[in-house]
Structure 1
Amino acid sequence: MNNSRNRRNPLKPDDRGATGRQGEEAAVELLLQGGCTILHRNWRCRFGELDIIARQGAELVFVEVRTRKSGGRFGTAAESVDARKQRQVRTIAEVYMQATGTHGMPVRFDVIAVMVDRGSGSVVELNHIEAAF
């Protein structure tokens, strides 16, 4: 059976990974400028991954980064952090705190939404939502 709709087009490279990495780089720069110390990037466990774990003062900050290209059809980057994703991030944060002995620290969950221009590939908008959930 030939189901070409489920196959990737070999002539069109999938650049979502590169776009996501670009968004994370911009988010890290923004956090550093805001006085955060980056503890981990892409911290993984069996439940998933935390994009950025930072510290700001005495507070542990878990940051979900969402990057979209301009003119997309699937809503804004910030809107994509739905209730299911929030639960997942909280669960992984609990695992992280158990694994690192940081339980009991004050925590904050932020979202950084990054918009990349579809034509030039440059970051055109950064929206840091502190204590997003």
Structure 2
Amino acid sequence: MLREQERHQWVNAKLTTATTGLWAEAKALRLLQGRGWTLLEKRWSCRYGEIDLLLCKANAPVPRLLAVEVKGRRRCGPDGWGLAAFDARKRQRLALTLNYWIALNPRHACCQLEVVLALVPLPPNHRPVRWLKVPDLVEPNR
């Protein structure tokens, strides 16, 4: 059994991690909204997984849907700002989650779907957000 002090430190660490994750999502969302994207869902979840941010750009020549997986990191480590955390299992869960969301929201089925990984440096780091496109995550015929 954890001593009371160790348990308290563990709980505080978890709260800090959750708070920084929310901060990273908010920063990514602000940047995307500044580029004309409209938020559809934030932290949408189902039995398959969770979508951090789901946005649309309906005024584009071809309506676009953007799914964003946000990774906030304090510093660049051996995993390159969180790339290792987005492994094959996580990609598969995200693909299932996106397919399920689209099945529940068929009006968006005709949208061009893009999936990006947003690597958000956390304070005190002032580097820009890195956007990495995730190719071929969802079947084209959905």
Give the shorter-chain TM-score range: 0.7 to 0.9
Is this contact kept in 2: 1:78–1:112, CA < 8 A? no
Classify the secondary structure of the residue corresponding to 1:125: coil
- Residue pairs, 1:61-72, within 5 angstroms: 61-70=66-75, 72=77
Quick one: percent identity of the two aligned structures? Answer: 22
Q: 1:69 to 1:100 in 2, by over 3 A?
A: same
TM-score by length of 2: 0.76
Q: 1:128 corresponds to which residue?
A: 131
RMSD: 2.4
AA partner of residue 8 (structure 2):
P
Classify the secondary structure of the residue corresponding to 1:104: coil
AA partner of residue 32 (structure 1):
Q
- Residue pairs, 1:44-83, within 5 angstroms: 44-56=45-57, 57=60, 58-70=63-75, 72=77, 75-83=80-88
1:41 deviates by 0.4
4+ long deviations beyond 4 Å: 71-75
Q: 1:8 to 1:113 in 2, by over 3 A?
A: farther
AA partner of residue 87 (structure 2):
D
Instruction: Please state which structure has a larger fraction of its residues in helix.
Output: 2
Q: Deviations over 1:71-115 (max 9, x none)?
A: 656542234212211111111000000011122322111110011
Q: Deviations over 1:22-74 (max 9, x none)?
A: 10000001111222111110111111110000012301111100111126565
CA distance in 1, matches of 2:102, 2:34: 25
Is this contact kept in 2: 1:115–1:123, CA < 8 A? yes
Q: 2:121 corresponds to which residue?
A: 115
Q: 1:105 corresponds to which residue?
A: 111
The answer for unaligned runs of 5 or more in structure 2 is 136-142
Q: 1:33 corresponds to which residue?
A: 34
Compare 103-112 and 88-97 and name the one that shifted more. 103-112
CA distance in 2, matches of 1:20, 1:123: 16
Instruction: Please state which structure has a larger fraction of its residues in strand.
Output: 1
TM-score by length of 1: 0.81
The answer for unaligned runs of 5 or more in structure 1 is none
